[in-house]
């Protein structure tokens, strides 16, 4: 914001805006996740990384036209319970 518009923003303001955007887009994210889950062919991937000294997992589920991303503290939990064909490895 400072580089583009010359406006400085507090970290808390940026965090609040991000949380509000995540809330507004939750239904969309759920719809994409459900569509990828139902796709007959999909690619699933999980990559571990550290945030604040704790391991987190970036989960990616792709179908031909959609990609769903999610960060989770649990490994293997991306589509758990969504489809028998999409369970844990």
Give 50-69 pLDDT, tens digit per residue: 988 999 999 999 999 999 99
Domain boundaries, the chain: 2-78
Is the pLDDT at 85 greater than 60? The verdict is no
Secondary structure letter of residue 36 according to DSSP: H
Tell me: the pLDDT tens digits for 15-59? 999 999 999 999 999 999 999 989 999 998 999 999 889 999 999
Distance separating alpha carbons of residues 71 and 47, to the nearest angstrom: 10
Kindly state the greatest CA–CA separation across the chain: 52
Q: How confident is the model at residue 77 (pLDDT cuts 50, 70, 90)?
A: low
Q: How confident is the model at residue 83 (pLDDT cuts 50, 70, 90)?
A: very low
Helix (H, G, I), strand (E, B) or coil at 64: coil
The whole-number pLDDT of residue 82 equals: 57
Q: Which residues of 30-53 are buried (b: 16+ CB within 10 A; e: fewer)?
A: eebbeebbebeebeeebeeeeeee
């Amino acid at each position: 914001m400072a580089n583009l518009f010359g406006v400085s923003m507090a970290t808390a303001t940026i965090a609040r805006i991000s949380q509000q955007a995540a809330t507004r887009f939750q239904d969309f994210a759920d719809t994409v996740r459900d569509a990828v889950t139902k796709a007959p062919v999909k690619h699933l991937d999980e990559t571990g990384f550290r945030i604040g000294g704790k391991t987190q997992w970036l989960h990616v589920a792709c179908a031909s036209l959609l990609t769903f991303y999610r960060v989770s503290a649990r490994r293997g939990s991306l589509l758990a319970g969504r489809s028998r064909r999409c369970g844990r490895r």
